[in-house]
Amino acid sequence: MNRAVLPVFLAVLAGGCIDTSLPDLTRELGEGRTDGPYCTPDVQSYFPPEELRITLIDVGQGDGIWIQTPYFSDRETESRNILIDAGPSGNVPGTSPGGAVVVDYLLTHGLVPGNFIDALIISHAHEDHYGGVPAVVSMFEVGRYADPGYDAGSPGFLDARGRAESDTARLNGQIAVPAVPNLVPRPFTKTDLFGESVDATVLWAAATPPSGNVSDPSGTDVNNTSVAFAIRYAGKQVLLLADLEDEVERQLISASTNGEIDLRSAVMKVAHHGSSSSTSLDFIARVFPAPSIDDWAVISSGRRSFSGTTLPTVETLDNLKQILLPGHVLSTENRDDLKTSGTEHGDDHIIVSIHADGSVEACYAQ
Ligand SMILES: [Zn+2]
């Protein structure tokens, strides 16, 4: 391990992240716990007009979420490409090369080298979210860049941010660091980041952890700085919750009680890889008050654990499955139980499609 990698490695360990033991997911989660439909070849190969598409790229343990906003006649000029997180770098032992997976996925689904990513948002300063930034900005141009502003004292994160900012600055794009107030004046405020065909609200972003052990800059409190969004199209809402934990989740519940935000949604990108640190039954019930065939929970995680527990946790899956219809909880760690550390990527991407008529589908893609 070279000296550049060591601080990142230590930060990841300190960040409550990866236990390199290999838990038996079949035993812990049970066969078929994240069974769901598989995408048809058409869905995988073609992004049709009048659809909002959200793809959880299977980066292993981490997040790499590609949002394609609807177009009506010309994809190239009308649809915006937004990337929320870039997966891990793969430089930390036992992790997946998430940045390379993201780049490969974009290149095989319509982008070419040098294309524009209209906005790159890095939700927070943990390696499983920012590690892939150098790979992404080496291949694509970045129009706007945002992160919460909290660097967690991480040299790896500062390097990734620097790479993204210089790519953005070269094209005179917008750098929104910290996201509040440089992107929006305060949380629960609308943003134009996703273009005109999608209504988008910043749910959260904090330049310092709101509370907790802030003296440990790589600790899990960094999760509560995450940039999170609610985006809406065709009358359906999608929550993109990054790694928020219960402290902020409770604030979102309060804001929904006060009428400041509307949590009722068709799709929830489950927070923090399905960890039990959030996604309470109370929260799920607010998001899905009357679950239907259009309602889905999607999870981005590897198979390995934070602090010895598997992700997504049994508790989180049980909570979601209590409320949603069978087959409506999908996770990128699907079928990863026989894989070894750092190889749990690339085989179960999740594509979410919101159609102009308000119907919503989610499926696994290879
Ligand atoms: Zn994470």
CB-based contact 234:259 (threshold 8 Å): no
User: What Cα–Cα distance (Å) separates residue 89 from each residue in 8, 12, 97, 149, 347?
Assistant: 10, 12, 5, 20, 18
Residue 314: per-residue pLDDT: 87
Q: How far is the CA of 130 from the centre of ligand 1 (A)?
A: 9
Name the domain count of the chain: 1
Give the E-state strand segments of the chain in sequence order.
51-56, 65-68, 81-84, 116-121, 141-146, 174-176, 189-191, 199-204, 228-233, 236-240, 267-269, 296-299, 329-331, 349-355, 360-365
Q: How far is the CA of 122 from the centre of ligand 1 (A)?
A: 11
Does residue 169 belong to any structural domain of this protein? yes
Q: How far is the CA of 75 from the centre of ligand 1 (A)?
A: 31
**Structural domain span for residue 44:** 29-365
Does residue 9 belong to any structural domain of this protein? no
Q: Return the C-alpha torsion angle 308, 278, 145, 190, nearest 10.
A: 170
Q: Please compute, for residue 340, the number of CA atoms within 13 A of its CA located in the half-sphere on the CB side.
A: 2
Residue 57: per-residue pLDDT: 98
Residue 68: per-residue pLDDT: 98
Does residue 10 belong to any structural domain of this protein? no
Does residue 239 belong to any structural domain of this protein? yes
CATH number of the CATH domain containing 288 = 3.60.15.10
User: What Cα–Cα distance (Å) separates residue 266 from each residue in 219, 262, 310?
Assistant: 31, 12, 26
Q: How far is the CA of 273 from the centre of ligand 1 (A)?
A: 6
| pLDDT in 10s for each residue of the chain, 366 residues | 333 333 333 334 333 344 444 445 544 555 567 889 999 999 999 999 999 999 999 999 999 999 999 999 999 999 999 999 999 999 988 888 999 999 999 999 999 999 999 999 999 999 999 999 999 999 999 999 999 999 999 999 999 999 999 999 998 999 999 999 999 999 999 999 999 999 999 999 999 998 866 666 666 689 999 999 999 999 999 999 999 999 999 999 999 999 999 999 999 999 999 999 999 999 999 999 999 999 999 999 987 655 556 789 889 999 999 999 999 999 998 877 777 777 888 889 999 999 999 999 999 998
Q: How far is the CA of 105 from the centre of ligand 1 (A)?
A: 20
Does residue 254 belong to any structural domain of this protein? yes
- DSSP notation for 44-68: HH---TTEEEEEE---SSS--EEEE
Residue 18: per-residue pLDDT: 43
Q: How far apart are CA 8 and CA 218, in angstroms?
A: 10
Give the E-state strand segments of 158-315 in sequence order.
174-176, 189-191, 199-204, 228-233, 236-240, 267-269, 296-299
Does residue 6 belong to any structural domain of this protein? no
Does residue 7 belong to any structural domain of this protein? no
Task: Copy the structure tokens of residue 173.
Answer: 């794009």
Q: How far is the CA of 306 from the centre of ligand 1 (A)?
A: 10
Does residue 236 belong to any structural domain of this protein? yes
Tell me which residues have their CB within 5 A of the ion that is ligand 1: 128, 243
Q: How far is the CA of 238 from the centre of ligand 1 (A)?
A: 19
